[in-house]
Structure 1
Amino acid sequence: HDENLAIRICQGLRPIFDIKVPQLIVHLIKRCLDANPLNRPTANELYKILREWYDKRNDSQTTELQIQIEESEKANNNLSMSNIPSTSLGLSYKSHSGASYSSRLLNYNNLPEPKNSDDYYEENDNIISMESSESLQIDISQLKIDDNVKSKDYSEYSESDLQINVIMND
């Protein structure tokens, strides 16, 4: 609802789903969100694709989309439901305080050239939102560890209990 959001979208910001999405649908979504309008499917092409998927749902042979949907449903059922309130169906909408629900002209003359969010899609090809942290591979033998720390017995701790904080200097 503001110029900053428009700029972030032009810089590659794309929506993130909190569920696993079937790969065929992901590819269609990516095409629809392409920064170059010429790469986006037309309304007629979208209709044909969706109509084909709809018509094949009752075929005796299982389609690739049906297989992907079943896999996604299994994965989504395995996701922790603790973060989703029981009154919600997994969808929540928040109104932006600056949102205006009437048409108005916005001045977006100075927006950057639109670009696709290729890095995001390479890392998250199924467009699923997951909490993750960057991992750093460390050769433990190369670390300088104080002798007092070396002598402490950490055998009672699991690997996930032990964390190493690393400060990197540029």
Structure 2
Amino acid sequence: ADIYSFGIIMNEFLSEEIPFNDIPHDHILAVKICKGLRPKISEDIPKFLVDLIMKCWDAKAENRPSAKELSNENKSESIKTHPQAIYTSRLLNFINLPEPVNSSDLTSFQVNSVSECFDVQLNESDLDEINQEDDNLNDEI
């Protein structure tokens, strides 16, 4: 039951959906689960995780993986890498990067970000006016 529950929790976590949220949780649901009903699995969950969830939900407990097998399977899957991925440091040549600023200098960061992203020219008085309007809205709430 623990491994079955692990599969339920894993699916709930990955799909962000409560199992059987569209039907009553009663004795009829329990009978349907015993007859093979399982929660929906989201289509965007990777196949290796879907397979793992399905193994955890096997009707026969002896066919379900052990906790140790789950741990080993997760480790082996997590260390697979894409053959074209580069995992070593390399020199990158970035041309025309803006001058670095400290994160504590948020005013200039916000002005520059807005200007660059939206091609809007803001000066200090415009920014002060926007901040004042935001403060007024927050006071009303």
Is TM > 0.5 for Structure 1 vs Structure 2? Answer: no
TM-score, normalised to structure 1, is: 0.32
Structure 1 or 2, whichever has the larger Rg, is 2
Query: What TM-score comes out, normalization by structure 2 length?
Result: 0.38
Higher helix share: 2
